[in-house]
Structure 1
Amino acid sequence: MVGRIDAVLAELGETLPDAPAPAANYVPYVIVGDLVFVSGQVSKGTDGLICGKLGDDMDVAAGQAAAKVCALNLIAQVKAACGGDLDRVTRVVKLGGFVNCTPDFGDHPAVINGASDFMGAVFGDAGAHARAAVGSSSLPFGVAVEIEGIFQIS
């Protein structure tokens, strides 16, 4: 049986990747009570890492696409945390977004909207969340975007 959220992802034409393995000494998520804290997910899609620096060799639209890939990876981690049942997600609580950018780049919120908009498309009203969008002079492996998340589950 396909769950409601899985059906939404299919309608959007999206396939979740396998939950990415940690790249260092940390766990991909921690469950505390009814909250799942998901470690930062970098912009790594089916074709590999999405690298670039906003304000230099990457525009906002490409940054938004990279942020959406981070959102897919976040959802994959939550699915693993929920034993494969995304219908257990009751709320996207918060996203923390980091944008690899030049010092004069100031459109961090627009970049992270790529993830925020996707969370809304997938989870509906439960996808509305608190958020931070921060610029960074570098990110791991030169990726364009990294996003962490907090999700409430039943």
Structure 2
Amino acid sequence: MLPDPATAYGARVRRRLTDEMSIWLTTVGRDGTPQPNPVGFLWDGGDSLLIYSQTNAKRLANIRRHPPVSLNFDSDGGIVVLTGTAEILDDYPAVTDNPAWLEKYSEAINARFGSAAQFAERFSVPVRVHLTHVRGF
């Protein structure tokens, strides 16, 4: 699904999926209006991303009603638009039990929330986005 890593674009997509700290997740509201929100994410190295959401975020209702979503990075560094299907995970480790998430975000979590436990209290709903398509340049 991702472009060939031997191409400049394929390498750039993988670098951004690995190195970027936020991505825009766009869900569809009840009235059909796109609802973009910046979120933290963790790429699994394959074709899915993990996001932790607040329990009261409208994006969760949007995903339950309409699971197709899009994701994109800010345009600095080239255009990357990903589409996929979001799934709210019932049985998945919290942030505090996710070493890869903590490795990527611990500095930002500590600076903004004080601790991983405090972040995990606010962002307790894991969402997996199964990627289906990528486009850009």
Say yes or no: TM over 0.5.
no
Task: Give the structure, 1 or 2, with the largest relative contact order (CA under 8 Å, sep 6 or more).
Answer: 1
TM-score, normalisation: structure 2: 0.29
Richer in strand (by share) = 2
